[in-house]
């Protein structure tokens, strides 16, 4: 114990300073950690506000868009606004049914009403009223006097339909009904504020944050959660769609703020403690050094031989200690250099992403400060951005394990850089996503686009020959200034989307595809709806319409986004048509048809693949529907009835009574069986049959409208024209002109 007394005294003399400094460091650390957590909570709150605003806006926009679609395409809606008889109970019931179905499709919708000024008639889902007697007349009156008023959501207001109902807070969307023959038509959709409140509150943790929502008049649509009165408001956003103000904050923000203000006080106290600790260390060191000083003085009196023995003998070999320390320092330096190289690669990849997105640099001096150290390109020169995409990437991931994927991607990146080095071209390549390699090339040549395309074509050929995969390259326009680089990057990515039409394993220039005419979306949608109707009616002409659709997509050079949107609309239209059929057909669609079409869309990279895969899925679905049809009772009879109707659609006497006499069946039974097998009422099917025949005559012949009306079974051309315009949205003459224009365009 006597030999270690000095050691323990030395150790204990530094302990107070050690505990003081460590305590201060821990306190400062947790203070800084708390402040960073608070800043993170503020950023998360801002993100939550934006998410809540987008969710509400998307829901309101979806309701508005579906309402427009119902007004344009639902014959029950348009029939209500154009009828002149309030006592048409059947048409009123159809309008009520359409409103109820709209409410079911949109859970946020609480109620809706149809207003017809022609006879001052109001129809809701629960009753009908005279316009002057309707409880919400004061709210609707300003909209009745406006001409082509712009539809928008109202501010927060109180509403109840009947006097015995409790008052509710709602927001309302009012739209003019299009194509009203006489007077003016309105449709009003009410949404309970509670529904919006429930939707937003699911995103909020009341123990951490809160949300306030105010309408355009500053009234609270959604009040904050419990504890919000003690909270701190930290973020605000204004909806560009509804004009509502979204405010959010932290529930315990004020308490945390007060604690944060004490940080400076504690920091000063800590500095004083550190200064006291330094003074204490100096004092203790001087005191503890006195015995060492005495020992050193005594050693200096020994002879050189004695000193050598002391220094080289056993544990007191100081040179061995220094050598060991140097080796340790060298190993640490090597490790630090390796870590520095890895950090440099990650930082370059991050800078590349920021450059492509336009987030960095704000000025060239900022870039040039680190350009030499990191080996970055000179942005004062013009650049061209290119994007290389691995074709059939899901298949690539299935064929190769992850380690081999990294190796192949490294080889692809190295090949591009080596080819560029061989042509003395400055190139910067980084992976921007799992399947896409971004390439920034200096535009030094007189024809830089051609030079870069030649270089990347060599890379494409090498990859095809040696890596057993293919790549497609999108080339953007030349960026004269560094601020144009993000635009060139987006152009390269946009060019890649045309791989769906042009095919893979090739070079695609943005300039070659940017000016193409994309066609009229209305024509595509009409063709898709017609194909879906043929599916429901089990007509084989769906194949011809499908081929026409693919041909039109190819002719109009749609990019991948456009093709995917059309495919989604096709699935929506098929689902909507099949939903009108019997339950077994709906189950067939949900279990087999829809999943098969979705898988075909996701697995196709090019239009050729998509045409083949979708065609297989559609053919299988058609065969299954046909098999179900043939297995149902009376299917053969109804098929004969439909064939007879198609062959005799021009007969003006064609009716249920006429067919019941011909096929020896009661007309009520025939009507019921016809609707079960086709999903349509007899009258609707007959009108659709005649209108389709009329469309073909308008497109393919020059017969006058009067003759066409007679040809399709109408003795009165005016009645024919009215029905044609109701279903097609335009007169027969306008339809013939538009069809001629489209045929001329597609023919060229």
CATH of residue 168's domain is 3.30.450.20
Name the residue with higher pLDDT: 710 or 629. 710
- CB-based contact 249:45 (threshold 8 Å): yes
Please check whether residue 416 lies inside any domain of the structure: yes
Do 471 and 559 belong together in one domain? no
Edge to edge, the sheet with strand 232-238 lists 220-222, 209-214, 245-250, 232-238
pLDDT in tens, 346-380: 888 888 888 888 888 888 888 888 777 777 888 88
Do 590 and 672 belong together in one domain? yes
Please check whether residue 317 lies inside any domain of the structure: no
Please check whether residue 501 lies inside any domain of the structure: yes
Please check whether residue 110 lies inside any domain of the structure: yes
Average pLDDT for 70-99: 79
Please check whether residue 287 lies inside any domain of the structure: no
What values do phi and psi take at 694, rounded to 5?
-65, -40
Confidence tier at 73 by pLDDT (50, 70, 90) = confident
Q: Cβ–Cβ contacts within 10 Å for residue 242, how many?
A: 22
**For residues 639 and 228, what is the distance between their CA atoms, to the nearest angstrom?**
67
- Considering its fold, how many domains does the chain have in total? 3
Do 447 and 465 belong together in one domain? yes
Average pLDDT for 18-46: 73
233 pLDDT higher than 50: yes
Please check whether residue 13 lies inside any domain of the structure: no
What percent of the chain has pLDDT above 90? 2
Do 616 and 720 belong together in one domain? yes
Overall pTM surpassing 0.75 (yes/no): no
pLDDT in tens, 97-140: 888 888 888 888 888 888 888 888 888 888 888 878 788 888 88
What DSSP character marks residue 679?
Answer: S
Do 634 and 694 belong together in one domain? yes
CATH of residue 657? 1.10.10.60
pLDDT in the model for residue 75:
83
What percent of the chain has pLDDT above 70? 82
Among 466, 490, 513, the domain boundary falls at 513
What's the token pair of residue 697? 């005559």
Q: What angle do CA 574, 576, 577 make, to 5 degrees?
A: 65
**For residues 626 and 641, what is the distance between their CA atoms, to the nearest angstrom?**
16
Average pLDDT for 616-639: 76
Among 229, 258, 278, the domain boundary falls at 278
Do 599 and 669 belong together in one domain? yes
Which of 108, 121, 103 lies closest to 56, judged by CA?
Answer: 108
- CB-based contact 502:472 (threshold 8 Å): no
175 pLDDT higher than 50: yes
Q: How far is CA 352 from its chain centroid? A: 24
Please check whether residue 17 lies inside any domain of the structure: no
Please check whether residue 350 lies inside any domain of the structure: no
Do 503 and 546 belong together in one domain? no
**For residues 720 and 731, what is the distance between their CA atoms, to the nearest angstrom?**
10
Residue identified by tokens 């400076």 is 264
Do 467 and 545 belong together in one domain? no
- Residues near 301 by Cβ (< 8 Å), separated by ≥ 6? none
pLDDT in the model for residue 16:
73
- CB-based contact 735:694 (threshold 8 Å): no
Q: Which domain holds residue 699?
A: 521-747
Average of per-residue pLDDT values in the chain: 78
Among 250, 278, 306, the domain boundary falls at 278
Residue identified by tokens 């114990």 is 1
- Residues near 373 by Cβ (< 8 Å), separated by ≥ 6? none
CA pseudo-torsion sign 660, 662, 664, 670: negative
């Amino acid at each position: 114990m006597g030999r270690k007394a000095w050691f323990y005294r030395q150790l204990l003399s530094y302990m107070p300073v050690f505990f003081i400094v460590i305590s201060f460091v821990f306190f400062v650390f947790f203070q800084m950690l708390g402040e960073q957590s608070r800043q993170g909570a503020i950023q998360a709150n801002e993100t939550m506000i934006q998410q809540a605003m987008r969710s509400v806006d998307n829901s309101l926009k979806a309701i508005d868009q579906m309402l427009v679609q119902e007004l344009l395409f639902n014959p029950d809606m348009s029939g209500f606004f154009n009828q002149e008889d309030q006592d048409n109970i059947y048409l009123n019931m159809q309008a009520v049914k359409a409103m109820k179905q709209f409410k079911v499709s949109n859970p946020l919708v609480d109620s809706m009403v149809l207003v017809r000024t022609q006879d001052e008639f109001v129809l809701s889902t629960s009753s009908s009223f005279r316009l002057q007697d309707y409880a919400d007349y004061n709210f609707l009156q300003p909209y009745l006097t406006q001409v082509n008023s712009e539809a928008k959501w109202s501010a927060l207001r109180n509403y109840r339909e009947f006097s015995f109902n409790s008052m509710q807070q709602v927001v309302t969307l009012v739209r003019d009904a299009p194509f009203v023959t006489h007077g003016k038509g309105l449709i009003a959709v009410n949404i309970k504020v509670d529904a919006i409140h429930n939707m937003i509150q699911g995103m909020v943790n009341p123990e951490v944050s809160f949300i306030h929502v105010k309408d355009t008049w500053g009234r609270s649509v959604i009040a904050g959660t419990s504890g919000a009165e003690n909270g701190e408001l930290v973020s605000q956003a204004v909806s560009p769609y509804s004009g509502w103000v979204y405010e959010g904050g932290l529930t315990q923000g004020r308490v945390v703020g007060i604690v944060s203000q004490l940080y400076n006080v504690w920091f000063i106290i800590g500095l004083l403690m550190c200064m006291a600790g330094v003074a204490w260390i100096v004092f203790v060191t001087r005191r503890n050094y006195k015995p060492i000083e005495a020992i050193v003085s005594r050693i200096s009196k020994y002879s050189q031989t004695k000193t050598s023995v002391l220094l080289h003998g056993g544990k007191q070999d100081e040179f061995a200690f220094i050598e060991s320390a140097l080796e340790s320092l060298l190993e640490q330096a090597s490790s630090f250099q390796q870590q520095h190289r890895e950090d440099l690669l990650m930082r370059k990849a991050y800078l590349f992403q920021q450059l492509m997105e336009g987030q960095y640099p704000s000025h060239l001096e900022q870039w040039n400060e680190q350009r030499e150290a990191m080996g970055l390109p000179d942005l004062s020169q013009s650049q061209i951005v290119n994007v290389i995409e691995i074709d059939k990437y899901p298949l690539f991931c299935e064929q190769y394990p992850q380690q081999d994927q990294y190796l192949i991607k490294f080889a692809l990146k190295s090949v591009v850089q080596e080819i560029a080095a061989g042509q003395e071209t400055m190139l910067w390549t980084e992976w921007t996503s799992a399947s896409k390699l971004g390439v920034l090339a200096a535009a030094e040549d007189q024809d830089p686009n051609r030079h870069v395309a030649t270089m990347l074509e060599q890379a494409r050929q090498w990859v095809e020959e040696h890596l057993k995969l293919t790549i497609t390259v999108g080339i953007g326009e030349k960026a004269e200034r560094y601020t144009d680089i993000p635009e060139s990057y987006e152009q390269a990515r946009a060019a890649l989307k045309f791989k769906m039409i042009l095919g893979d394993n090739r070079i695609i220039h943005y300039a070659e595809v940017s000016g193409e005419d994309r066609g009229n979306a209305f024509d595509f949608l009409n063709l898709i709806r017609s194909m879906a109707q043929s599916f429901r009616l089990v007509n084989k002409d769906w194949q011809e319409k499908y081929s026409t659709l693919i041909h039109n997509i190819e002719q109009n050079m749609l990019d991948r986004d456009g093709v995917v949107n059309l495919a989604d609309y096709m699935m929506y239209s098929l689902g909507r048509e099949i939903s009108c059929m019997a339950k077994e057909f709906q189950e067939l669609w949900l279990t087999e048809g829809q999943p098969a079409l979705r898988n075909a869309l996701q697995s196709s990279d090019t239009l050729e693949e998509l045409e083949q895969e979708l065609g297989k899925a559609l053919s299988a679905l058609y065969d299954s529907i046909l098999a179900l049809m043939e297995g149902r009772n009376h299917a053969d009879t109804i098929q004969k009835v439909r064939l007879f109707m198609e062959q005799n659609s021009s007969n003006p006497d064609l009716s249920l009574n006429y067919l019941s006499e011909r096929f020896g069946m009661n007309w009520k039974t025939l009507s019921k069986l016809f609707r079960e097998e086709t999903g349509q009422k007899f009258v609707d099917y007959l009108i659709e049959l005649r209108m389709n025949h009329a469309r073909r005559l308008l497109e393919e012949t020059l017969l006058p409208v009067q003759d066409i009306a007679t040809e399709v079974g109408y003795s009165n051309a005016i009645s024919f024209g009215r029905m044609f315009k109701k279903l097609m949205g335009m007169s027969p003459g306008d339809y013939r002109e538009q069809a001629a224009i489209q045929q001329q365009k597609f023919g060229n």
